[in-house]
């Protein structure tokens, strides 16, 4: 009797788990569909271009760094705190991965394709950029920084 009871309980638990996972999957799907349909609202666009073994940033509006004005920078990406940026992430050679661990960002950088995210930094500071796909001999050196001021 106890054995049958245990079995029933096990079946009930696994059924509940299955329904739970399916439900979770549906919610994930819905939120993904929503984000795909919603136009991204942002203040400025920055193209993030990966190549062995560096990151280049092309700004829609030039950035002021000290006395200099730049439309492109390599290694450092300059942003203003509180502004929302559209990042268009791509590669011009092999597959790379754009990651900013402190901001929970991880996006593939793929040749011929633009992966898009929005970025809004609320605290001044420096945030390390790393490549997360092995992309060849200099992969480990493919780092950079977001400088938010």
Size of the site for ligand CUA (CB under 6 A): 9
Site string for ligand CUA, 83-122 (x = CB under 6 A): -------------x--------------------------
133 sits near ligand CUA (criterion: CB under 6 A): yes
Does residue number 134 form part of the binding site for ligand CUA (CB under 6 A)?
yes
Question: Of residues 100, 129, 135, 148, which one binds ligand CUA by CB under 6 A?
Answer: 135
Query: What is the Cα–Cα distance from 74 to 88, expressed in whole angstroms?
Result: 15
Contact in structure between 109 and 115 (CB atoms under 8 Å):
yes
Measured from the CB of residue 114, what is the shortest distance to ligand CUA in angstroms? Answer: 17
SS3 for the chain is: CHHHHHHHHHHHHHHHHHHHHHHHHHHHHHHHHHHHHCCCCCCEEEEEEEECCEEEEEEEEEEEECCEEEEEEECEEEECCCCEEEEEEEECCCCEEEEEHHHCEEEEECECCCEEEEEECCCCEEEEEEECCCCCCCHHHCEEEEEEC
Determine if 142 is a binding residue for ligand CUA (CB under 6 A): yes
Residue located via tokens 């006395």: 67
- Give the residue among 5, 149, 147 at the shortest CA–CA distance from 77: 147
Query: Is 139 among the residues that bind ligand CUA (CB under 6 A)?
Result: yes
Does 146 help bind ligand CUA (rule: CB under 6 A)?
no
Smallest distance from ligand CUA to CB 129, Å: 11
Q: Out of 79, 131, 146, 148, which residue is the one contacting ligand CUA (CB under 6 A)? A: 131
Q: Which is nearer to ligand CUA, 63 or 131 (CB)?
A: 131
Binding to ligand CUA (CB under 6 A) within 61-90 occurs at none
Interface residues with ligand CUA (CB under 6 A) are 50, 53, 96, 131, 133-135, 139, 142
């Amino acid at each position: 009797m106890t054995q049958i009871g245990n079995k029933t309980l096990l079946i009930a638990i696994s059924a509940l788990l299955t329904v739970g996972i399916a439900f979770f999957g549906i919610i994930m799907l819905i939120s993904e569909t929503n984000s795909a349909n919603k136009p991204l609202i942002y203040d400025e666009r920055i193209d993030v271009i990966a190549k062995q073994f560096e990151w280049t940033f092309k700004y829609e509006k030039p950035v002021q760094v000290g006395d200099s004005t730049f439309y492109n920078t390599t290694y450092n990406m300059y942003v203003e705190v509180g502004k929302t940026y559209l990042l268009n992430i791509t590669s011009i050679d092999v597959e790379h991965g754009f990651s900013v661990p402190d901001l929970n960002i991880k996006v593939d950088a793929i040749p011929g394709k633009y992966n898009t995210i929005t970025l809004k930094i609320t605290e001044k500071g420096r945030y390390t950029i790393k490549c997360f796909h092995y992309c060849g001999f200099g992969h480990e050196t493919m780092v950079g920084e977001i400088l938010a001021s």
